[in-house]
């Protein structure tokens, strides 16, 4: 019996190398592309986590009640409070600053100059479709091309005190956006039909929109927005002077804010593509409900981002930059806008969600948006071109876009979490700026752990 056991043991020992050889061979075959017929999914895909964009904070998914937090009877009739669920996102911790927007302006100046020269050294090789793209990595020698670039500057008769300055009217940014709303509506009508050139619902090109916009901020808004008021120094200095680098950019209309988002997206995605990393979601303006959810910072029913119901803390210090008392602009520490990181942030680390400058959202204005939007990521998005004819008379109302947060020149009511108003998308104001968001890909930021 003992001999039989020893023989079996020896036989098993002898078989062990063969078993491991088979396992190793299967692994090697799989790695070399051998198909075993099993459902494995596409091999070679790396785990991916949504990296935090510089200068943003993570806002987790959650549910809140949108609407007024105080006894605003008439507003409550128009727009009663509504429970809303928002999915996670990255949001800029401050408003976009002058210096950050100036980086965009410099990019456009550089692009316009290179396009004006039409020199092969400033372009990348043509792609398979024959397209040529500007090569921004090749340094532009302005001194060498100063005669060829004369058209970039104001003509002599337009120069103030003889200063040679860039003609800001030449700073145009061309970009594309995709009309998902119309595409979804049209393709639903033509769903499951075979592709037919005569069927407009299946023609993808009609939803790809080209848009062109001037990108230089309207510095004259400091004068235009106030009648019989001397604000000329702000017109001359606010956007360019180093003192205001970290102050929120203003004088930017809704189209310019969207153009900035596109530029920021392309800039970041180009980097990801260069290192072979998957691109991610676009930077964009927040919806008005994303903005309100972020402003509340987990404080249910709070009047202000810090809670409330007062605009001062226990030491008597103002908690935001607005128009307190009977027009005592400086009582809160700032007559005009202040640095974008002034005052205490809310519970999620967001600065100046109340006051300083009001902020553009992507939402089209309706008096009663709460009554029509969905309770999951609610949005009323309508977009009309900056120039050209309007398709329908009703589209005029879509040019009004919701702004949130109130500003340095607004009374306390407009800096409440639930307060909302609008500006026309093609107007620029010295009290309206913006910040961007990026939808988070995945269930939660905790997925990386």
Kindly report, residue by residue over 160-180, the tens digit of the pLDDT: 999 999 999 999 999 999 999
pLDDT band of residue 181 (cuts 50, 70, 90) is confident
Strands 56-59 and 89-92: antiparallel
3-state SS class at 419? coil
Which residues belong to CATH 3.90.1580.10 in the chain? Answer: 56-448
Q: How far apart are CA 408 and CA 329, in angstroms?
A: 8
Q: How far apart are CA 168 and CA 102, in angstroms?
A: 13
pLDDT band of residue 119 (cuts 50, 70, 90) is confident
Question: According to the model, what pLDDT value does residue 11 have?
Answer: 41
pLDDT at 322 over 50: yes
Share of the chain above pLDDT 90, in %: 62
Question: According to the model, what pLDDT value does residue 203 have?
Answer: 79
- What are the Cα distances from residue 228, in Å, to 142, 223, 234? 42, 9, 15
Query: What number of other Cβ atoms are within 10 A of residue 213's Cβ?
Result: 20
pLDDT at 77 over 70: no
The mean of the pLDDT values for the chain is 86
Query: 5-19, 77-91, 206-220, 373-387 — which one is most confidently predicted on average?
Result: 206-220
Question: According to the model, what pLDDT value does residue 406 have?
Answer: 97
pLDDT at 139 over 80: yes
Query: 14-23, 29-38, 159-168 — which one is most confidently predicted on average?
Result: 159-168
Contact residues for 8 (Cβ-Cβ < 8 A; gap 6+): none
pLDDT band of residue 186 (cuts 50, 70, 90) is confident
pLDDT band of residue 15 (cuts 50, 70, 90) is very low
pLDDT band of residue 72 (cuts 50, 70, 90) is low
Query: 28-32, 190-194, 435-439 — which one is most confidently predicted on average?
Result: 435-439
Question: According to the model, what pLDDT value does residue 323 have?
Answer: 96
Question: According to the model, what pLDDT value does residue 132 have?
Answer: 79
Question: According to the model, what pLDDT value does residue 7 have?
Answer: 40
- The count of residues in the chain is 449
CA nearest to 112, candidates 142, 89, 92, 68: 142
Query: 90-99, 156-165, 307-316 — which one is most confidently predicted on average?
Result: 90-99
3-state SS class at 312? strand
Q: Provide φ and ψ at 237, rounded to 5°.
A: -115, -25
Contact residues for 414 (Cβ-Cβ < 8 A; gap 6+): 322, 358, 406, 407, 421
Q: How far apart are CA 177 and CA 263, in angstroms?
A: 12
Average pLDDT over residues 410-422: 94
Q: Is the dihedral of CA 241, 245, 247, 248 positive or negative?
A: positive
Question: According to the model, what pLDDT value does residue 172 have?
Answer: 96
3-state SS class at 65? strand
Question: According to the model, what pLDDT value does residue 301 have?
Answer: 85
pLDDT band of residue 43 (cuts 50, 70, 90) is confident
pLDDT at 128 over 80: no
Question: According to the model, what pLDDT value does residue 23 have?
Answer: 43
Average pLDDT over residues 353-378: 94
pLDDT band of residue 76 (cuts 50, 70, 90) is low
Share of the chain above pLDDT 70, in %: 83
Question: According to the model, what pLDDT value does residue 188 have?
Answer: 66
Q: Is the dihedral of CA 259, 89, 181, 376 positive or negative?
A: negative
Question: According to the model, what pLDDT value does residue 26 have?
Answer: 45
Is there a cis peptide before residue 157, judged by omega within 30 degrees of 0? no
Average pLDDT over residues 42-62: 91
What's the burial of 382, exposed, middle or buried (CB within 10 Å: 0-12/13-18/19+)?
middle
pLDDT at 185 over 90: no
CATH hierarchy code of domain 56-448? 3.90.1580.10
Contact residues for 186 (Cβ-Cβ < 8 A; gap 6+): 200, 201
pLDDT band of residue 361 (cuts 50, 70, 90) is very high
199 against 145, higher pLDDT: 145
Please name every residue paired with 173 in a beta bridge, in sequence order, or none if there are none: 213
Give the predicted TM-score (pTM) of the model.
0.87
324 against 389, higher pLDDT: 324
Question: According to the model, what pLDDT value does residue 129 have?
Answer: 77
- What are the Cα distances from residue 335, in Å, to 236, 287, 320, 407? 17, 29, 12, 11
3-state SS class at 106? helix
> What tokens were used for 397?
């109302």
Average pLDDT over residues 64-86: 79
Question: According to the model, what pLDDT value does residue 385 have?
Answer: 64
> What tokens were used for 353?
């969600």
3-state SS class at 423? strand
Question: According to the model, what pLDDT value does residue 197 have?
Answer: 57
197 against 444, higher pLDDT: 444
Question: According to the model, what pLDDT value does residue 47 have?
Answer: 85
């Amino acid at each position: 019996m003992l001999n039989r056991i020893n023989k079996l043991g020896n036989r098993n020992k002898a078989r062990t190398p063969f078993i491991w050889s088979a396992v190793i061979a299967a692994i090697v075959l799989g790695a070399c592309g051998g198909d075993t017929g099993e459902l494995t999914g596409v091999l070679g895909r790396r785990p991916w986590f949504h990296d935090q964009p510089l200068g943003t904070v993570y806002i987790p998914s959650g549910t809140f009640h949108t609407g007024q937090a105080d006894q605003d009877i008439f507003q409550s009739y128009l727009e009663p409070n509504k429970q809303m669920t928002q999915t996670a996102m990255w949001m800029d911790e401050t408003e976009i600053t002058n210096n950050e927007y100036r980086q965009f302006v410099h990019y456009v100046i550089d692009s316009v100059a290179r396009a004006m020269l039409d020199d092969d050294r400033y372009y990348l090789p043509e792609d398979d479709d024959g397209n040529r793209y500007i090569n921004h990595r090749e340094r532009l020698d302005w001194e060498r091309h100063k005669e060829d670039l004369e058209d970039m500057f104001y003509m002599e008769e337009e120069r103030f005190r003889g200063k040679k300055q860039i003609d800001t009217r030449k700073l145009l940014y061309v970009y594309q956006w995709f009309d998902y709303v119309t595409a979804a509506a049209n393709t639903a009508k033509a769903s499951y039909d075979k592709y037919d050139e005569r069927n407009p619902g299946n023609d993808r090109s009609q939803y790809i929109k080209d848009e062109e916009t001037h990108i230089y901020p309207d510095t004259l808004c400091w004068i235009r927005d106030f009648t019989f008021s001397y604000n000329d120094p702000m017109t001359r200095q606010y956007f360019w002077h180093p003192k205001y680098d970290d102050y929120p950019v203003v004088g930017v209309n809704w189209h310019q804010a969207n153009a900035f988002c596109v530029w920021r997206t392309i800039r970041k995605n180009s980097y990801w593509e260069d290192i072979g990393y998957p691109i991610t979601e676009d930077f964009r303006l927040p919806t008005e409900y994303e903005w309100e959810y972020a402003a509340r910072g987990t404080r249910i029913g709070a009047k202000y981002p810090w809670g409330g119901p007062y605009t001062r803390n226990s030491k008597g210090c103002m908690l935001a930059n607005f128009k307190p008392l009977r027009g005592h602009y400086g009582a809160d520490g700032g007559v005009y806008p202040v640095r974008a990181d002034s005052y205490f942030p809310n519970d999620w680390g967001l600065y100046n969600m109340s006051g300083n400058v009001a902020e553009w959202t992507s939402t089209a204005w309706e008096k009663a948006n709460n009554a029509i939007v969905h309770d999951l990521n609610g949005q009323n998005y309508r977009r009309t071109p900056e120039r050209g004819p309007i398709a329908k008379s009703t589209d005029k109302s879509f040019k009004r876009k919701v702004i949130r947060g109130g500003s340095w020149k607004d009374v306390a009511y407009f800096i409440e979490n639930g307060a909302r108003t609008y500006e026309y998308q093609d107007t620029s104001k010295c009290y309206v700026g913006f910040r961007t968001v990026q939808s988070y890909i995945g269930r939660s930021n905790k997925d990386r752990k």
